Every structure is written in structure tokens, then in C-alpha cells.
Amino acid sequence: MSGGGIGHSGPKKSLDFELNLTSMIDLLSTCTCFLLISAVWVQMGTVEIKQSHGTEAAAVTKESFDLDLIFRNANELQVVLKKSGKQVRSINVKSESNEGMLKNLNEVITAQVLNKNNKAKKVEIAVATITPKAGVNYGQLVSALDVLRKNQIVNIGVLTAKGQ
């Protein structure tokens, strides 16, 4: 009989083979746990912002305005609405806190700049630029960008405050 196993004597070797897979299974389960846990910190995010100058996005055939946001300091912002390079309206936005500043900026843009409440006098913004000063931190700049994006203004540029 073949199969050599228990009780077989002779020069033939046993055909039974034993492979210990416990350590390999432990290693694979550890790798799986590591990958599942580390996947929480991997996030893909995008910000859709078109370049404000030098692209076909800036060529608008409708009558449109330009919007300039100029940070005077961390708590004061000037919103300037321009048409054909000439200033149409200037609004100062002030607040003691960054959250209050963003709330006031959103209200000014929706009510006074874009005229969303008045459908007959709706304003379209072709290009928006933000000019920060040295005292304005990066978080405030990004928050101002978020307010513009929230109001469907996508052609945004950031200018340096050189000479101010």
C-alpha cells in the first residue's frame, strides 16, 4: 500500500507534508488592520478655482463687474466693486472676531454686491481678487476664498500687498 504513514517502515519517506501557516496568517491580519486604520487619514480633496487672468474663463461677453477684497488689517476688510476698471461701490466690513468678519462679508456680498434679493438688478462677477496685508493669517485668506466660492464666484486671484 502506498501513502506511507503510520506504521510503515522501510527506506521510503513519508508523503505527508505539514506546513505551519499560523505565522503567515498573523502577518496578513496585522497588515490588513494597519491598512484599514491608516486609510482614515488619507483624504483626497480639491478646490475648484479658475485662474482669474490669462485664461478663456476671464473672457465674459455679458456685462460683468470685478470684485476686489482688500484686507486693511486682521479685523477690517474693504469690498470694492468695479466696472471697466472704475470703482462703482466701496463697502467696509469690520468685526471683532474672524467668524463675525466672515458672516458680515457673506451678508455684504449676497445683499449689497450680488443683489440676490433683487432679480432685476442681479450682478455677475467676472473676476474677484483678494489682497491680504501682512497681519492677515493664511486661515483668514482661505476663509475669504470659501465665502466667495459659496457665492458662486470662481474666477479668483490673490494679489500681493506690495507697497501697502
* 106-149: pLDDT as tens digits: 888 887 777 665 555 667 788 888 888 877 888 888 888 888 88
CATH number for the domain whose boundaries are 50-158: 3.30.420.40
Give the Cα separation of 156 and 52 in Å (integer).
5
The list of the chain residues with pLDDT below 50 reads 1, 57-61, 163-164
Give the Cα separation of 43 and 1 in Å (integer).
63
List of residues 6+ apart from 69 with CB closer than 8 A? 77, 78, 79, 80, 105, 128, 129, 130, 131, 144, 148
Its sign, for the CA torsion 156, 47, 138, 106, is positive
Query: DSSP assignment, residue 93?
Result: E
In terms of pTM, does the model score above 0.75?
no
Three cell numbers, residue 64: 460683468
Rg, the chain, Cα only: 32
Question: Domain limits of the chain?
Answer: 50-158
Give the Cα separation of 142 and 107 in Å (integer).
18
Three cell numbers, residue 35: 491598512
pLDDT computed for residue 59 by the predictor: 46
